[in-house]
């Protein structure tokens, strides 16, 4: 934050004269045009509420795998937190979700040299059975090499060791590697952790079995172990690996989205949604993914309440369930709220961690982006030098309602180090910088308040036949 020094009287008078003489008035500062927004930003920068709540979630509940006892506790925690913060109404909405458990797991290179491998079974993978699986490793760099060497695959454990090419490209090996290898007769699939930087921690995440391929167990290895096995293969050493995984897919179960409203003063039926996903993987304590988004949406709403602001529209916080195992919470929200979808004016999701704020990526018409850019202009002081509203994706959880016409945005931060810890043991509360978290609360609270308290509805900017709204 910056502080304004008091102005000496003679400068003040000169400025008054100058203003009076000039043809167009000097542009007004944020303090003059929107004192409430400005005070909200300052209060957010000076509050440790969100940091405290995120620490509570991570340290006293821990990781929150869908269907797990910790996820049930987290749902209670979310409801209690919203109630304590003073939300007008708080409720849960049921979601049918897959239920997967990891159990014990280990892997070991048994020949020609013996050493333990550090692994993390992939979410929704089947287990190996009690005997485990022992086979020679065939290491490939990419899917093209797998296809080229298809005749070598039968009976082997295929190891995918692709270079890091950014998340969306590299994650294809984690998601589809098992089925692609199984089609050629592989007995298991290992994949290099999807990260650009590794300090020896494996990174888990969801995999997907194709209908037309045998289901083989699959796990992530550390970048280091994947590299070592691949180099052994290149030396012609034919490494053999023994893999043991108790992973199990159970019957679907019921989990819940948590929803809390701060009723709007003038158009309570109109909704400005902000959220993140409460579920997580079962390693580390999942502070960045997505404890941060959960705490930021809660903390931003709490700041609006604490400042005793009552925006024109309803501010709704949603803590989604089962994002990690397929985005079930987001789809269930769409189904449960189709009846009031037209009243969803805006949706904002935070699911990229709490790093240096850069702005927002908006998934909407250009008119909406222009309007959001104007509304968000006062927030630029929170991210000096880097602030931008760009066109782009919003998020997995709000994706279903955004694709159904709700203007959406993603909380955009510098993700240079996000994937270093993502889905790994290293995603813990130490990785949260309190100053950056406070700045992220400020930009989220600021944007949500600005949109919820804006006389013009964003929906009227996208509806061609609208009459201008309120």
Interface residue with Zn ion among 93, 282, 289, 453 (CB under 5 A) is 289
Decide: 66 and 279 in contact? Cβ < 8 Å: yes
Residue 224 annotated in active site = no
- Binding of Zn ion by 261 (CB under 5 A): no
- Supply the minimum distance, in Å, between the C-beta of residue 225 and Zn ion: 25
324 φ/ψ angles, rounded to the nearest 5 degrees: -65, -30
Give the separation between CA 451 and CA 440, rounded to whole angstroms: 17
- Binding of Zn ion by 290 (CB under 5 A): yes
- Supply the minimum distance, in Å, between the C-beta of residue 289 and Zn ion: 4
Residue 265, classified by CB atoms within 10 Å of its CB into exposed (0-12), middle (13-18) or buried (19+), is middle
Which candidate, 104, 167, 65, 93, places its Cα nearest to that of 332? 93
- Supply the minimum distance, in Å, between the C-beta of residue 171 and Zn ion: 12
Q: In terms of DSSP H, where are the helices of 203-291?
A: 223-234
Which residues in 29-39 are b (16+ Cβ under 10 Å) and which e?
A: eeeeebeebbe
- Supply the minimum distance, in Å, between the C-beta of residue 181 and Zn ion: 26
Catalytic residue among 105, 323, 324, 349: 323
- Binding of Zn ion by 427 (CB under 5 A): no
Please identify, using beta-carbon distances, which residue of 225 and 351 lies nearer to Zn ion: 351
Interface residue with Zn ion among 105, 126, 282, 351 (CB under 5 A) is 351
What is the end-to-end Cα distance of the chain in Å, rounded?
34
Give the separation between CA 445 and CA 274, rounded to whole angstroms: 9
Please identify, using beta-carbon distances, which residue of 87 and 419 lies nearer to Zn ion: 419
CA distances from 45 to 254, 354, 384, 436, 444 (A): 38, 14, 14, 9, 12
Please identify, using beta-carbon distances, which residue of 140 and 401 lies nearer to Zn ion: 401
Please identify, using beta-carbon distances, which residue of 289 and 427 lies nearer to Zn ion: 289
What is the sign, positive or negative, of the torsion defined by CA atoms of 223, 246, 96, 260?
negative
Please identify, using beta-carbon distances, which residue of 387 and 412 lies nearer to Zn ion: 412
Q: Which are the catalytic amino acids?
A: 323
Binding interface with Zn ion (CB under 5 A): 289-290, 351
């Amino acid at each position: 934050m910056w502080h304004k020094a008091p102005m000496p009287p003679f400068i003040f008078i000169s400025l008054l004269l100058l203003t009076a003489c000039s043809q167009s008035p000097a542009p007004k500062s944020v303090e003059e045009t929107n004192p409430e927004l400005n005070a909200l930003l300052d209060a957010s920068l000076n509050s440790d509420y969100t940091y405290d709540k995120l620490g509570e979630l991570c340290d006293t509940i821990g990781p929150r795998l869908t269907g797990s006892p910790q996820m049930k506790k987290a749902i209670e925690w979310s409801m209690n937190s919203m109630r304590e913060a003073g939300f007008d109404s708080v409720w849960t909405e049921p979601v049918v979700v897959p239920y997967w458990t990891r159990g014990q797991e280990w892997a070991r290179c048994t020949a020609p040299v013996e050493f333990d491998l550090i692994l993390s079974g992939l979410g929704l993978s089947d287990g190996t059975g009690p005997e485990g699986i022992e086979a020679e490793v065939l290491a490939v760099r990419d899917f093209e090499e797998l296809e080229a060497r298809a005749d070598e695959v039968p009976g082997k454990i295929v190891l995918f060791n692709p270079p890091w090419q950014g998340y969306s490209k590299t994650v294809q090996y984690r998601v589809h590697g098992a089925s692609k290898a199984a089609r050629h007769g592989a007995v298991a699939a290992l994949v290099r952790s999807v990260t650009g930087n590794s300090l020896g921690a494996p990174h888990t995440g969801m995999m997907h079995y194709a209908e037309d391929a045998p289901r083989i167990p699959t796990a992530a290895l550390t970048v280091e172990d994947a590299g070592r096995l691949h180099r052994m293969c290149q030396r012609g050493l034919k490494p053999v690996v023994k893999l043991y995984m108790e992973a199990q897919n159970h019957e679907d179960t019921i989990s819940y989205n948590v929803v809390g409203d701060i009723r709007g003063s003038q158009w309570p039926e109109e909704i400005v949604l902000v959220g993140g996903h409460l579920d997580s993987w079962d390693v580390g304590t999942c502070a960045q993914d997505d404890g941060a988004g959960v705490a930021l949406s809660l903390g931003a709403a709490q700041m609006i309440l604490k400042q005793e602001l009552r925006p024109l529209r309803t501010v709704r916080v949603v803590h989604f369930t089962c994002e990690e195992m397929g985005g079930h919470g987001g789809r269930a929200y769409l189904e449960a709220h189709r009846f009031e979808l037209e009243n969803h004016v805006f949706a904002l999701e935070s699911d990229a961690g709490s790093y240096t704020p850069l702005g927002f990526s908006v998934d909407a018409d250009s008119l909406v982006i222009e309007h959001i850019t104007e509304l968000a202009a006062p927030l630029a002081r929170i991210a000096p030098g880097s602030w931008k509203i760009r066109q782009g994706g919003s998020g997995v959880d709000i994706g279903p309602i955004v694709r159904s016409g709700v203007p959406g945005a993603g909380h955009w931060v510098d993700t240079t180090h996000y994937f270093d810890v993502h889905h790994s043991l290293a995603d813990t509360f130490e990785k949260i910088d309190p100053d950056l978290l406070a700045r992220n609360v400020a930009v989220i609270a600021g944007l949500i308040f600005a949109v919820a308290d804006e006389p013009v509805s964003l929906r009227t900017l996208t509806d061609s036949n609208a009459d201008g709204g309120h």
